[in-house]
Every structure is written in structure tokens, then in C-alpha cells.
């Protein structure tokens, strides 16, 4: 007998199929609801609505579990590289050594940006936000790199172009914004080492690559590579459902990530630390303010999904403490962050409400310790999330059940009324 949920509306009863995922997630399939009853569901923010079946990322907020393609995030952060994790997300399995070498070569081959694109960079207003520039430039890639005749080659090369060129464009935009000479990628450096070198190398002060910094950035990007159906991923799937090209869908994801409620969270952590420093506030007084004032939030604590410690935060914490301990000079903002962390994790109020430091708290510290400018924080997130967006776009494209996204609404406006000529409307 088919497992169904019974829905009773007035005198009518219908059966709605129940879908169960491989990890026990359950959903009620309501695709026939409107045709059978005339009703739709109302779910602002889609917090209780499954929009797809996915085999990419599994997360359990109550248990603090995050896995990519079934592999725990802890194992990937410890043993993998961002390039290998990207291959895993996009292709559904870990590569062989030969496949990984070929993928790395492809990324290297496509890492340069068309020289004509520099004119775009150089003509953006100097105060333009890097995320606005990045979303525009990703969309523009479509005009510089037309489709290839072989669909499989086109898809694979497009993936490689995005993963390699977005990293190059991010570093290039930073250099141009400072009026510095652009540094090109090197074939002998790993993906994260290449980015750091393109960001910070200069003719007058060559960048010395520190392997702890490279490891921290590698882990940062792995931890941000995918996170199920969040705002930006949903944007990529929604725009992609219209069967636009991948560049346009990724550009939409970048725009969604730009928002302070989503990708801007780690930037807000550092901005709050700056405010504490400027006003010479005591971290302990802020913790007490959280308890007193219902609407006051301590940035980087708690999570909408995780009701226990964010598994990514555990890993990022180790990176943050290692980098802070190696800094040649003390950073007052990072000192404040460490004091806030110590007070909060030992305070019963925070523990009872599960307001643990989240990944944004520690990633903000890591990015600052790496020397990444504050306005580039969200760009760093976008580079890390690229393989997840690509994987989600590809999965939606290949899903035989995929349809053009077309949400419904509950209309609460005026009832029928007729046009009144302007001369009859009074003064």
C-alpha cells in the first residue's frame, strides 16, 4: 500500500504521496494539491518547502552534520584540496589521480582573463563594490567565450572557466582598485596559493607564500563550497530553471550572496569588532547587552539551521587560532574576537540557547588574519561557493522532473474597481 498523507478540507479528503530521502528526510508531495482541491500552500521564505530532490549535500542542523556527496566535511577539510572537492561536488565522486591532474591542468589553462576585459574593470567607478563588479564580469564572460559545438566539452570547459577565471578576476579587481600592477596566475602554484600571490605580490615587495595561510584558505573554500538550498543556491536554480546560460545563473547567485543576511555575515562580524574597538567597549558588556535587549545581536553567534555547534565552525576555529598566534603584531580586533569567544562559550545564557560561534565568526577572523580587505570578504565566499552553484545548476538541468520555477501567491489587494478619468477624481 502506497504511503500517503491524508488531507481533509471540509468534506473532501485526498491522499498526498510521502517522499523519503536516503537519510530519512520526509516530505509531502503537493504537486497535485491545487488541481485536486483548488488550494495552494503558504510558506513565506520557503522554510518548510522542498523545491528539489538533490544528491549533492546533506545537512542535519540538530546533529551538526554536513556532508558533500556523502563524505563528512571534517574528512574533506583534513585531507582534500579545494580543487578535488570541486571535482567531487560537480561529478559526484572523488577523482582518480589522473582525473585530478587533468582537472588541475584544465583550471590552469583557463586561468587567464581576456585582455579586453580589463577595460571593463578599469572603467567601473572606484567606489563600486567588488560583488557588483564580479556579478557583472561573470555575466560578461558569456560574450567573450561563445559556446562550443560539442555539448559535453562546452559544459566541462565552462565549469573550468568559471572556477579559474573568477579567482583571477577577483584578484585583478583588487589590484586595479588599488592602482597596482595586475599579477597573473602561475602554473606552479596551487589554487589557493595562486590567489594569495595574485592578491599580494608586487614588484617592490614579493609575496612570501606561507603554507599555513594556504591551508587556511583551502579549508575556508572547502567549508563554503556548498550548503544545501540556501538563498544564493536557490537563486542559481531558479534562474537556471529558465534554461539561461550558466554564467547568467552564477551571476544571479553572486547577487544573492551579496546580501548582508546571507554572504555578508562574516563582514558584519568584523564591522562589529571595529565598532567595539572604536567605542572602546568591553566584550563582556556586549554579552550582557545581548541578555538585556531582545533585538540586539552579537554577530557570528547562532545559526538559522544548526541548533548545535556548526561543524564548519569547529574546523574554522582551529585555523583562526593558528593564524592569530602567528601574526607578527597583535591585532586589537582579533584580540576582541578571542575575548568575545571565550566569554560566550562559557556563559550559561549562550549555551542554553545554543548561541555558539558560527563559521562566519571564525571565517571573518581568518580572512582578516590573511590580510583580505573587508570589502572582499563576500567575494571570497563567492569563490568558495562556485563549485556548489555549478553542481546545483547541473543537477537541476539534468533532472527530468525539473520545471520552470513559478511560485504562487495569495492576493490581498483591492477587489475589482474601475478606471476613473482624471477630471472626475477631485482635487
Report pLDDT for 177.
Answer: 81
Report pLDDT for 367.
Answer: 94
Calculate mean pLDDT across residues 418-426: 92
Report pLDDT for 87.
Answer: 96
pLDDT band for 299, please (50, 70, 90 cuts).
confident
Report pLDDT for 1.
Answer: 43
Report pLDDT for 260.
Answer: 83
Q: Does residue 107 have a pLDDT over 90?
A: yes
Report pLDDT for 387.
Answer: 97
Report percent pLDDT > 90 for the chain: 61
Report pLDDT for 162.
Answer: 92
Q: Does residue 58 have a pLDDT over 50?
A: yes
Sign of CA dihedral 96, 99, 100, 101: positive
In our burial notation (b when 16+ CB lie closer than 10 A, e otherwise), range 316-325 reads bbebbbebbe
pLDDT band for 301, please (50, 70, 90 cuts).
confident
Q: Does domain 4-50 have CATH number 3.30.1490?
A: no
CA angle 204, 205, 207 (to 5 degrees): 145
The tens digit of pLDDT for each residue in 361-410 reads: 899 889 999 999 999 999 999 999 999 999 999 999 999 999 999 999 99
Report pLDDT for 150.
Answer: 57
Calculate mean pLDDT across residues 306-316: 87
pLDDT band for 149, please (50, 70, 90 cuts).
low
The tens digit of pLDDT for each residue in 117-145 reads: 888 887 888 788 889 999 999 999 988 88
Report percent pLDDT > 70 for the chain: 98
Between 104-113, 174-183, 219-228, the lowest mean confidence (pLDDT) is in 174-183
Three cell numbers at 86? 570541486
| Whether pTM exceeds 0.75 | yes
By DSSP bridging, strand 57-60 and strand 65-68 are antiparallel
Q: Does residue 217 have a pLDDT over 90?
A: yes
pLDDT band for 92, please (50, 70, 90 cuts).
very high
Between 28-37, 188-197, 237-246, 332-341, the lowest mean confidence (pLDDT) is in 332-341
Quote the longest CA-to-CA distance of the chain: 80
Between 73-87, 141-155, 247-261, the lowest mean confidence (pLDDT) is in 141-155
Calculate mean pLDDT across residues 279-301: 87
Report CA 326 to chain centroid distance, whole Å.
Answer: 28
CA distance 257 to 226: 12
Question: What's the chain look like in SS3?
Answer: CCCEEEEEECCEEEEEEEEECCCCCEEECCCCHHHHHCCCCCCHHHCCCCCCCCCCEEEECCCCEEEECCEEHHHHHHHCCHHHHHHHHHHCCCCCHHHHHHHHHHHHHCCCCCCCHHHHHHHCCCCCCHHHHHHHHHHHHHHHCCCCCCHHHHHHHHHHHHHHHHHHHHHHHHHHHCCCCCCCCCCCCCHHHHHHHHHHCCCCCCCCCCHHHHHHHHHHHHHCCCCCCCHHHHHHHHHHCCCCCHHHHHHHHHHHHCCCCCCCHHHHHHHHHHHHHHCCCCHHHHHHHHHHCCCCCCCCECCCCCCCCCHHHHHHHHHHHHHHHHCCCCCHHHHHHHHHHHHHHCCHHHHHCCCCECHHHHHHHHHHHHCCCHHHHHHHHHHHHHHHHHHHHHHHHHCCCCCCCCCCCCCCCCCCCCCCCHHHCCC
The residues annotated with a catalytic role in the active site are: 303, 360
Amino acid at each position: 500500500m502506497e504511503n500517503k498523507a491524508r488531507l481533509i478540507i471540509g468534506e473532501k479528503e485526498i491522499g498526498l504521496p510521502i517522499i523519503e530521502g536516503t537519510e530519512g528526510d520526509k516530505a509531502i508531495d503537493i504537486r497535485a494539491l491545487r488541481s485536486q482541491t483548488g488550494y495552494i500552500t503558504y510558506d513565506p521564505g520557503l522554510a518548510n518547502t522542498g523545491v528539489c530532490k538533490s544528491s549533492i549535500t546533506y545537512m542535519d542542523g540538530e546533529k551538526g552534520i554536513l556532508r558533500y556527496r556523502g563524505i563528512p566535511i571534517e574528512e574533506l577539510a583534513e585531507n582534500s584540496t579545494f580543487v578535488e572537492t570541486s571535482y567531487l561536488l560537480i561529478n559526484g565522486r572523488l577523482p582518480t589521480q589522473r582525473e585530478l591532474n587533468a582537472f588541475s591542468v584544465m583550471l590552469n589553462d583557463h586561468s587567464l582573463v581576456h585582455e579586453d576585459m580589463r577595460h571593463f574593470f578599469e572603467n567601473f567607478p572606484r567606489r563600486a563594490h567588488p560583488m557588483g563588479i564580479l556579478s557583472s564580469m561573470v555575466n560578461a564572460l558569456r560574450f567573450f567565450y561563445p559556446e562550443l559545438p560539442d555539448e559535453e566539452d562546452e559544459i566541462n570547459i565552462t565549469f573550468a572557466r568559471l572556477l579559474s577565471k573568477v579567482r583571477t578576476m577577483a584578484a585583478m579587481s583588487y589590484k586595479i582598485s588599488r592602482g597596482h600592477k595586475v599579477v597573473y596566475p602561475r602554473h606552479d602554484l596551487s589554487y589557493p596559493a595562486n590567489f594569495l600571490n595574485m592578491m599580494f605580490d608586487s614588484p617592490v615587495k614579493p609575496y612570501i607564500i606561507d603554507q599555513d595561510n594556504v591551508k587556511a584558505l583551502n579549508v575556508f573554500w572547502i567549508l563554503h563550497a556548498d550548503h544545501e538550498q540556501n538563498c544564493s543556491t536557490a537563486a542559481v536554480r531558479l534562474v537556471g530553471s529558465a534554461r539561461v546560460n550558466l554564467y547568467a545563473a552564477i551571476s544571479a547567485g553572486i547577487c544573492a550572496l551579496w546580501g548582508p543576511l546571507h554572504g555578508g555575515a562574516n563582514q558584519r562580524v568584523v564591522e562589529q569588532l571595529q565598532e567595539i574597538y572604536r567605542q572602546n567597549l568591553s566584550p563582556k558588556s556586549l554579552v550582557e547587552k545581548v541578555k538585556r535587549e531582545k533585538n540586539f545581536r552579537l554577530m557570528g553567534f547562532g545559526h538559522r539551521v544548526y541548533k548545535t555547534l556548526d561543524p564548519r565552525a569547529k574546523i574554522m576555529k582551529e585555523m583562526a587560532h593558528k593564524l592569530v598566534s602567528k601574526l607578527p603584531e597583535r591585532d586589537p580586533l582579533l584580540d576582541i574576537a578571542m575575548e568575545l569567544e571565550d566569554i560566550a562559550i562559557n556563559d550559561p545564557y549562550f549555551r542554553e540557547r545554543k548561541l555558539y560561534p558560527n563559521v562566519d565568526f571564525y571565517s571573518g577572523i581568518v580572512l582578516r588574519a590573511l590580510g583580505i580587505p573587508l570589502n572582499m570578504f563576500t567575494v571570497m565566499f563567492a569563490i568558495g561557493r562556485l563549485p556548489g552553484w555549478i553542481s546545483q545548476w547541473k543537477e537541476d538541468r539534468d533532472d527530468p522532473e525539473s520545471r520552470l520555477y513559478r511560485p504562487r501567491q495569495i492576493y490581498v489587494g483591492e477587489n475589482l474597481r474601475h478606471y476613473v478619468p482624471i477630471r472626475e477624481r477631485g482635487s
